[in-house]
């Protein structure tokens, strides 16, 4: 079947300095000739670029060509004009494009979750595309997006080829841009940023109520529910006004008003969670734990491995006794007393020496019957360390007794360091044991000696930190991130930052570097394109298999 209807077709566009018009001669399969009929480009820039662009279009039999450096306006106009002519040669009906200039949000389903974009348009041109949210696989969808965006901008259309091996991500970005363009042309309602309505959150001393339309914070009111924050009311009023003026949930903390700042931030963040259309699952959609079984809590979820790691890392010896008075659990940090799995299932009272069993029975009775909420005391062990020991009653969401929690903390580290100066934000030497957690040199040696080759969680974290560094660089932030590790200077207890890693690059080169990196990645994996495409087509497949 013939690609074109042979003949001469015209096309036009607005160039850098004025109108640009071309005549394109085609046979049934190829572009034979391109003549520039009208052009007012700068002679030494756009004027010199046009012959080069014509040569490239003829060689590639397409307008999907590289532009000419320093003549981006002329390049865009040339591609648009020749593209119009080729569309006419193919019998494609040309749509009249008319946008209301501005920036518009759009979204569509990607590979893992929704992709969100901001698209800036002039009257008839797509000027810029910014991805504001995407959770697709970094190594495939994440690298394909800059390439697709570049093609859309050059063609001034979403009717462009996607990236092989990343079809769902490619279609997602194109559909998200289409959404924004339909809003810009008045064909659909704007994307809702919030769920319209009134939302309330209450903290210890403050109640906050916020009213939202679909795309704006309309109002914020607060009530102080105690007298503790009355003196900070002028500061709270400033926070309120800043949120309304900037239409953002971030605000500057005000000196001398740390309590009110904390409670305002806590309440507004809770409200944002309720009012936002972005779900917790959306945010987890690319996480290495996405497909692992998680235990859901009121304030989030954890995998079983995470729960076990948290219980073993909190620096306290934990024991749990069920309502049957049987010893049910102890964590791995239980070093003060000698516990073993052989104790599990034994009566809690029998785990105490004979002289203490009467006291333990009395304590368990008072805790279970709500005659006592908790009991704490200091105890000196055989090494002379002061231990802080607590027993607490635990109840379920309906108020029914489910057992008692016992925890022991070796407080000697706190007592030994209590007079040290405050060093918030200043990292100490990582090779010195943390006294507050009662670390030992032997534990540190074992920790640093442990190497794991295949660690998706670690690798994902490192990639994400490097991405955040690049975003921070674009925003002009002075990089001092966690991805630049703390090191110890030789012979001194001073801290220094390692040289910025090679992934920290200037904002000027970022976009092109990402595009080139994406191209290299895709080309390198051409032999696996079909396999990757199959994985993206299968909606039940896990993104973690693509790392």
How far apart, in whole angstroms, are the C-alpha atoms of residue 81 and residue 167? 28
What local confidence, expressed as pLDDT, does residue 477 receive? 57
Are residues 86 and 209 located together in one domain of the fold?
Answer: no
| % of the chain at pLDDT higher than 70 | 79
pLDDT digit string, tens, across residues 297-341:
877 889 899 999 988 888 788 899 999 999 999 888 655 666 778
Is residue 529 a contact partner of residue 546, using CB atoms and an 8 Å limit?
Answer: no
What local confidence, expressed as pLDDT, does residue 402 receive? 93
| Residue 542, domain member (yes or no) | no
| Residue 499, domain member (yes or no) | no
Give the pLDDT band (50/70/90) at residue 535: very low
What local confidence, expressed as pLDDT, does residue 93 receive? 67
Are residues 333 and 426 located together in one domain of the fold?
Answer: yes
| % of the chain at pLDDT higher than 90 | 27
Of 70, 90, 110, which residue is a domain's last?
A: 90
Token pair listed for 452: 């794991």
What local confidence, expressed as pLDDT, does residue 94 receive? 65
Give the residue-averaged pLDDT of 138-149.
Answer: 77
What local confidence, expressed as pLDDT, does residue 153 receive? 87
Residue 390: in which H helix or E strand, if any?
strand 386-395
pLDDT exceeds 70 at position 458: yes
**In the block, which residue shows the tokens 């959609």?**
285
Are residues 202 and 180 located together in one domain of the fold?
Answer: no
**φ, ψ for residue 121, nearest 5 deg:** -130, 150
Structural domain boundaries, residue 51: 7-90
Helix, strand, coil % over all residues of the chain, rounded to 5: 40, 20, 40
| Residue 163, domain member (yes or no) | yes
How far apart, in whole angstroms, are the C-alpha atoms of residue 513 and residue 316? 48
Token pair listed for 263: 């409670």
Are residues 181 and 318 located together in one domain of the fold?
Answer: no
How far apart, in whole angstroms, are the C-alpha atoms of residue 236 and residue 115? 35
| Residue 301, domain member (yes or no) | no
pLDDT digit string, tens, across residues 336-349:
666 778 888 988 88
- The reported pTM is 0.51
Are residues 457 and 318 located together in one domain of the fold?
Answer: yes
Of 143, 162, 185, which residue is a domain's last?
A: 185
| 209 SS3 class | strand
Nearest CA among 111, 101, 112, 99 for reference residue 178: 99
pLDDT digit string, tens, across residues 208-243:
999 999 888 999 999 999 999 999 999 999 999 999
Residue predicted with more confidence, 162 or 208: 208
Are residues 130 and 243 located together in one domain of the fold?
Answer: no
Are residues 27 and 133 located together in one domain of the fold?
Answer: no
Are residues 465 and 442 located together in one domain of the fold?
Answer: yes
How far apart, in whole angstroms, are the C-alpha atoms of residue 118 and residue 215? 14
Is residue 70 a contact partner of residue 45, using CB atoms and an 8 Å limit?
Answer: yes
Domain harbouring 392, CATH code: 3.30.450.20
Name the DSSP class of 3: S
How far apart, in whole angstroms, are the C-alpha atoms of residue 266 and residue 295? 24
pLDDT exceeds 60 at position 172: yes
Domain harbouring 68, CATH code: 3.90.1010.20
Is residue 69 a contact partner of residue 85, using CB atoms and an 8 Å limit?
Answer: no
Convert 515-524 to b/e letters by CB count within 10 Å (16 or more is b).
Answer: beebbebbee
Q: Is 206 exposed, middle or buried (0-12, 13-18, 19+ CB in 10 A)?
A: buried
Alpha-carbon torsion (251, 255, 259, 260), positive or negative: negative
Q: What is the largest CA-CA distance in the chain?
A: 106
Is residue 177 a contact partner of residue 235, using CB atoms and an 8 Å limit?
Answer: no
Lowest mean pLDDT among 158-167, 343-352, 467-476, 509-518: 509-518
Q: How many domains does the chain have?
A: 4
pLDDT exceeds 60 at position 446: yes
User: What are the residues whose beta carbons fall under 8 Å from the beta carbon of 408, sequence distance 6 or more?
Assistant: 316, 317, 336, 337, 387, 388, 389, 390
């Amino acid at each position: 079947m013939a690609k074109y209807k042979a003949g001469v077709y015209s096309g036009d566009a607005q160039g850098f300095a004025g109108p640009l018009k071309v005549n394109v001669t085609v046979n049934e399969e190829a572009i034979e000739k391109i003549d520039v009929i009208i052009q007012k480009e700068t002679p030494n820039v756009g004027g010199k670029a046009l012959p080069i662009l014509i040569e490239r279009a003829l060689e590639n039999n397409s307008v999907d060509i590289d532009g000419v450096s320093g003549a981006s306006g002329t390049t865009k106009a040339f591609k648009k004009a020749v593209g119009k002519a080729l569309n006419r040669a193919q019998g494609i009906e040309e749509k009249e494009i008319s946008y209301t200039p501005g920036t518009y949000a759009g979204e569509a389903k990607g590979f893992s979750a929704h992709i969100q974009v901001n698209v800036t348009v002039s009257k008839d041109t797509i000027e810029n595309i910014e991805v504001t949210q995407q959770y697709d696989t970094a190594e495939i969808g994440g690298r394909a997006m800059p390439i697709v965006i570049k093609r859309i901008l050059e063609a001034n259309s979403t009717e462009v080829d996607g990236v092989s091996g990343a079809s769902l991500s490619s279609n997602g970005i194109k559909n998200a841009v289409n959404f924004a363009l339909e809003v810009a042309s008045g064909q659909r309602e704007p994307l809702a940023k919030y769920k319209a309505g009134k939302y309330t959150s209450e903290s210890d001393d403050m109640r906050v109520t916020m009213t939202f339309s679909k795309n704006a914070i309309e109002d914020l009111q607060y009530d102080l529910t105690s007298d503790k924050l009355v003196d900070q009311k002028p500061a709270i009023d400033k926070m309120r006004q800043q949120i309304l003026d900037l239409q953002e949930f971030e605000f500057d903390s005000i000196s001398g008003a740390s309590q009110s700042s904390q409670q305002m931030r806590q309440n507004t963040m809770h409200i944002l969670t309720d009012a936002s259309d972005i779900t917790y699952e959306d945010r987890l959609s690319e996480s290495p734990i996405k497909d692992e079984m998680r235990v859901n809590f009121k304030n989030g979820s954890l995998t079983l491995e995470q729960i076990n790691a948290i219980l073993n890392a909190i620096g306290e010896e934990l024991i749990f006794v069920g309502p049957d008075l049987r010893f049910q659990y102890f964590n791995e940090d239980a070093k003060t007393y000698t516990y073993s799995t052989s104790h599990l299932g034994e009566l809690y009272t029998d785990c105490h020496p004979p002289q203490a069993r009467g006291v333990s029975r009395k304590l368990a009775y008072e805790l279970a019957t709500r005659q006592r909420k908790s009991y704490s005391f200091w105890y000196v062990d055989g090494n002379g360390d002061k231990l802080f020991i607590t027993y607490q009653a635990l109840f379920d969401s309906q108020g029914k007794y489910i057992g008692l929690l016992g925890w022991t903390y070796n407080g000697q580290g706190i007592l030994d360091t209590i007079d040290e100066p405050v060093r918030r934000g200043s990292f100490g030497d990582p090779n010195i044991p943390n006294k507050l957690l009662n670390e030992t040199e032997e534990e540190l040696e074992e920790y640093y000696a442990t190497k794991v080759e295949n660690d998706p969680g670690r690798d994902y974290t490192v990639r994400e930190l490097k991405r955040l560094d690049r975003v921070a660089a674009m925003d002009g932030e002075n990089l001092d991130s966690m991805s630049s590790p703390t090191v110890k200077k030789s012979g001194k207890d001073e801290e220094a930052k390692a040289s910025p890693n090679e992934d920290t690059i200037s904002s000027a080169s970022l976009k092109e570097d990402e595009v080139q990196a994406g191209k290299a990645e895709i080309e390198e994996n051409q032999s696996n394109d079909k396999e990757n495409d199959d994985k993206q087509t299968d909606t039940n497949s896990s993104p973690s298999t693509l790392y």
